[in-house]
Amino acid sequence: MEKHIPVLLNEVIENLNIRDGLTYVDMTLGGGGHSKEILKRIPNGYLYGFDQDDFAISKAKEKLADFSNYTIIKDNFVNAKIRLQELGIDKVDGILFDLGVSSFHFDIPERGFSYKYDNFLDMRMNQDGDLTARDIINDYTSEEIANILFKYGEERYSRSIAKNIVKFRNETPINTTFELVDVIKKSLPNKVLNKKGHPAKKTFQALRIAVNDELGVFKKALEDAIELLAPKGRLAVITFHSLEDRICKQIFRAHSTIDIPKGVPIIVDYDPELRLINRKVIIANEEELAVNNRAHSAKLRVVEKN
């Protein structure tokens, strides 16, 4: 299993403007890499970390063994505001989202996230959840599958793949990752198969997003996070594909601008809710790209509460 390396670590720590004695939330605890660096800087502060995956939580506890000023909450970050309020926390001073799947999820064949290993088509981040990728592949209609692949994976050949999935599953259920990869390869033209990159990447991304309702969950969680921020508190979001980044950009823009109808003589005497810390996305430098492949698609956006 590859070592989990936190993405854009220095950039996150710098832009969160971490101050001792304050309260921080890591919405995506994962292996605990970002949380560890935050905790180093707040010996008199406190951190709350969210994750719904037992394996991730166990790895994070190992990483954070030297600290006591933190609490791990096993839950989807969509419930963060409610869970924090249950603990008497109404406002926090910094929040981090590091979206996507932790590298160790891809490295565990049994989780079914990766097209590199042959295993059951699972893809649940929360293993107590009911819906799996196998359910979608074997139970959804061709149109429903095609819509998922196109909407969440931006897969150009979504209809061809979906049509073949239904054709092959009518003969025998498609249960494993390699069985699905085989169907995908048979659905794509040679010009695509001969391109660099794995032909199943977009389909697997789309299924993962659908299984975990990642985009819907992120929208709600991001709006709640903005509400949770105390004045001068900062919110940092790392995204890994255009769909997530578009949501983040749109929500940040909506909360950092004042919409005045054109031609209406209004004097604005108040500030918008948020201030953009970086107008252009922050990406990894060459040094990080050389040692961490996940960083190639990472984009960081940061805002501050006025």
Binned at pLDDT 50, 70 and 90, residue 1 comes out as: very low
In whole angstroms, give the CA distance from residue 109 to residue 264.
59
Residue 239 parent element (H or E) = strand 229-239
pLDDT for 108? 85
pTM over 0.95, yes/no? no
Which of the 8 DSSP states describes residue 303? E
Report which of 139, 206, 198 is spatially closest to residue 170, judged by C-alpha positions: 139
Q: For the residues 270-292, what does the mean pLDDT come to?
A: 93
End-to-end CA distance of the chain: 43
Binned at pLDDT 50, 70 and 90, residue 261 comes out as: low
In whole angstroms, give the CA distance from residue 298 to residue 207.
20
pLDDT for 271? 83
Report which of 94, 89, 127, 133 is spatially closest to residue 112, judged by C-alpha positions: 133
pLDDT for 107? 80
Instruction: Name the segment(s) of the chain with CATH classification 3.40.50.150.
Output: 9-104+214-305
pLDDT digits 0-9 by tens, 43-78: 999 999 999 989 899 999 999 999 999 999 999 999
Residue type, 33: G
pLDDT for 126? 87
Residue 254: phi and psi, rounded to 5, are -60, -35
Binned at pLDDT 50, 70 and 90, residue 152 comes out as: very high
Q: For the residues 230-245, what does the mean pLDDT come to?
A: 97
pLDDT digits 0-9 by tens, 82-108: 999 999 999 999 999 999 677 667 888
pLDDT for 27? 98
In whole angstroms, give the CA distance from residue 8 to residue 295.
7
Whether 3 shows a pLDDT value over 80: the answer reads: no
pLDDT for 65? 98
Q: For the residues 216-221, what does the mean pLDDT come to?
A: 97
Instruction: Name the segment(s) of the chain with CATH classification 1.10.150.170.
Output: 109-212
For 11, the token pair is 């950039």
Task: Quote the mean pLDDT of the chain.
Answer: 94
pLDDT for 106? 81
CATH topology of domain 109-212: DNA polymerase; domain 1 (1.10.150)
The CATH H-level superfamily of 9-104+214-305 is Vaccinia Virus protein VP39 (3.40.50.150)
Whether 266 shows a pLDDT value over 80: the answer reads: no
pLDDT digits 0-9 by tens, 160-198: 999 999 999 999 999 999 999 999 999 999 999 999 999
E-strand stretches of 157-271: 229-239
Report which of 75, 82, 100 is spatially closest to residue 241, judged by C-alpha positions: 100
For 25, the token pair is 């939330």
Order of all β-strands in the sheet with 274-276: 70-74, 46-51, 23-26, 92-98, 229-239, 299-305, 274-276
